[in-house]
């Protein structure tokens, strides 16, 4: 199971996170992946996601990006939690997020290549990292909420996009326009799925699409890392 860890960032900031590693200490590790949170903070769901990757041969770290404003800032999946999360998300600066992600990359690099992924606003940050943070080898974006506004950024690494065709935050015409600007990036569309379809705590009826998205992600990472 994923364990809570503390990482020291280049500027001295100490940041909590989840970490999970493949269960066989003697087995080969395919690589690493940094998983960036949605607006709700470092939820238990992110620990579960780390475990999912570890079970498929990837060491995974999910950092607590809100730690620079205070520890243990995790919010419920309701209007109040959403509003609190968006308020904290607005305090994040690209420079310090890059430092925090770079610390995770450094911790995972001994295992080989490293990818970055993220959900919702974390997917947006993963897009920013793919365009401007050295040391990454691939990116996987789950319904990045700000990609339309960030569509002119150019990822410098192979990047996979996952979106539902009923996402109320990033409507399908916006997804199409993003892909028109970046036609070489693989895009997977999930019929009938809205925002946050990967999270069973928010959308328990989306399990089949979530499982398909995960298998496609593993296939993509395996193709890049092996």
CA distance 185 to 163: 13
Q: 214 and 220 in contact (C-beta within 8 Å)?
A: no
Q: How confident is the model at residue 111 (pLDDT cuts 50, 70, 90)?
A: confident
Domains of the chain, by residue range, sit at 3-225
CATH H-level superfamily of 3-225: Alpha/Beta hydrolase fold, catalytic domain (3.40.50.1820)
Q: What is the mean pLDDT of the chain?
A: 97
Q: What is the pTM of this model?
A: 0.97
Residue 180 confidence (pLDDT) = 98
Residue located via tokens 């999912």: 52
Mean predicted confidence (pLDDT) in 120-140: 99
Give 114's strand partners. Answer: 32
**CA 21/CA 180 separation, integer angstroms:** 37
pLDDT at 226: 84
Residue 210 pLDDT: 99
């Amino acid at each position: 199971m994923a364990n809570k860890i503390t990482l020291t960032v280049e500027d001295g900031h100490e940041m909590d996170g989840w970490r999970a590693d493949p269960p066989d200490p003697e087995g080969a590790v395919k690589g690493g992946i940094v998983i960036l949170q949605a607006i709700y903070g470092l939820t238990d769901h992110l620990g579960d996601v780390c475990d999912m990757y570890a079970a498929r041969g990837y060491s995974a770290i999910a950092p607590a990006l809100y730690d620079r404003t205070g520890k243990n800032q995790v919010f419920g999946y309701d209007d109040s939690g959403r509003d609190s999360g968006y308020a904290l998300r607005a305090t994040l600066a690209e420079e310090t997020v890059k430092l925090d992600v770079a610390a995770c990359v450094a911790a995972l690099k001994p295992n080989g290549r490293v990818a970055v992924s993220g959900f919702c606003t974390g997917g947006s940050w993963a897009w920013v990292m793919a365009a401007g943070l050295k040391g990454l080898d691939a990116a996987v974006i789950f319904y990045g909420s700000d990609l339309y506004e960030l569509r002119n950024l150019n990822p410098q690494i192979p990047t996979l996009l996952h979106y539902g065709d009923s996402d109320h935050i990033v409507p399908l015409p916006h997804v199409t326009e993003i892909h028109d600007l970046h036609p070489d990036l693989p895009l997977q569309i999930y019929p009938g799925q809205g925002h946050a379809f990967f999270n069973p705590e928010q959308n328990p009826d989306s399990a089949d699409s979530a499982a398909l998205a995960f298998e496609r992600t593993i296939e993509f990472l395996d193709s890049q890392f092996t």
